[in-house]
Amino acid sequence: MKHKLMFPETAPAGLLPKQDRTAWLKGGSATCQVPARTPQGEAWRIVLLGAPGIGKGTQAELLSERLGTCHLSTGDIFRTAKCLREEEQTASMKEALKFMRQGALVPDQTVLGLVRDRLRCLRCSGGFLLDGFPRTVPQAEALEKLLKEQDVELTAVLNYELPIQKVVARISGRRTCSQCKAVYHIATRPPRVRDLCDRCGGALFQREDDRPESVEVRMKAYERNTRPLIEFYEQRGLLITVSAEGSPEEIYQRTRVLALGR
């Protein structure tokens, strides 16, 4: 770990405004209306690693909510594009969505094009939590180059680990808000009102790629393409491995302790 991470929670969970992610979700010239929160210490610039369904998105939300750092998920860019009308989607986005529906990885060049179109988010003074990117060694190498060009350094890479059978159980119970993309689980993190988001009242749904046939493809893609990133970041002295056993709150507290080195 290059820098000591700080956990300057400024308010209890749920009291801080949700980060505006317009610039990330839409890209190009889209801007966030709510300015980034200025961190008390050095801004966090974190990459989250772990198998699909392990709970990275939930941890990203907790970290983002309590620390004010923006949650940058490439999967959310695709899900946002999926909700656009057919004529609003570019040809390369339509192509990317085909891969996504099958649970396969979108080609590196397409993903990198999207990230390059959102470089402002990597330079943001509030820092970032990258979730779902990078996912292959070429993506990690490209990110390293992009960050260098932007004169920005990663703080740490949090690698969440859990036995595969437990990961599959987590994915099958996962439900996502159709509006704000908040993530729930029917057994371990149910919404207060069935099928409705606690935060915005949006309808909850099961992602197409969380269905069993896609899950298997995603797991294979993780083992083949993403697992090698553990060694990539270990070699750079950035890796912190966190057990993803237990409730989201327990995992969050474990992240805190490990990242603080206590």
Q: Could you give the residue numbers annotated as active site?
A: 56, 135, 174, 207, 218
Which CB, 99 or 232, lies closer to ligand AMP? 99
Sole binder of ligand AMP in the list 37, 50, 59, 78 (CB under 6 A): 78
- Strands 128-131, 70-73: pairing is parallel
* Residue 55 binds ligand AMP (CB under 6 A): no
The amino acid at residue 125 is S
SS3 150: coil
Which span (70-78, 140-148, 239-247, 253-261) binds ligand AMP, by CB under 6 A?
Answer: 70-78
CA distance 50 to 158: 8
Residues 6+ apart with CB under 8 A from 208: 100, 101, 214
* Residue 111 binds ligand AMP (CB under 6 A): yes
Return the closest-CA partner of residue 71 out of 31, 28, 124: 124
CA distance 214 to 225: 16
Q: Which residues in 82-111 are b (16+ Cβ under 10 Å) and which e?
A: beeeeeebeeebeebbebbeebebbebeeb
The answer to whether the beta carbons of residues 12 and 21 sit under 8 Å apart is: no
* Residue 68 binds ligand AMP (CB under 6 A): no
Sole binder of ligand AMP in the list 105, 142, 238, 239 (CB under 6 A): 105
The answer to whether the beta carbons of residues 158 and 47 sit under 8 Å apart is: yes
* Residue 133 binds ligand AMP (CB under 6 A): yes
Which CB, 37 or 76, lies closer to ligand AMP? 76
The answer to whether the beta carbons of residues 36 and 25 sit under 8 Å apart is: no
What's the closest the beta carbon of residue 64 comes to ligand AMP, in angstroms?
A: 15
Which span (8-16, 96-104, 198-206, 228-236) binds ligand AMP, by CB under 6 A?
Answer: 96-104
Contact map string, positions 190 to 229, toward ligand AMP, x by CB under 6 A: -------------------x--------x-----------
Which CB, 37 or 73, lies closer to ligand AMP? 73
What's the closest the beta carbon of residue 80 comes to ligand AMP, in angstroms?
A: 11
Which CB, 75 or 191, lies closer to ligand AMP? 75
The answer to whether the beta carbons of residues 160 and 50 sit under 8 Å apart is: yes
CA distance 181 to 142: 27
What's the closest the beta carbon of residue 29 comes to ligand AMP, in angstroms?
A: 23
Residue 138 φ/ψ, nearest 5 degrees: -60, -35
* Residue 132 binds ligand AMP (CB under 6 A): yes
Residues in touch with ligand AMP (CB under 6 A): 52, 73-75, 78, 99-100, 103-106, 111, 132-133, 135, 139, 209, 218
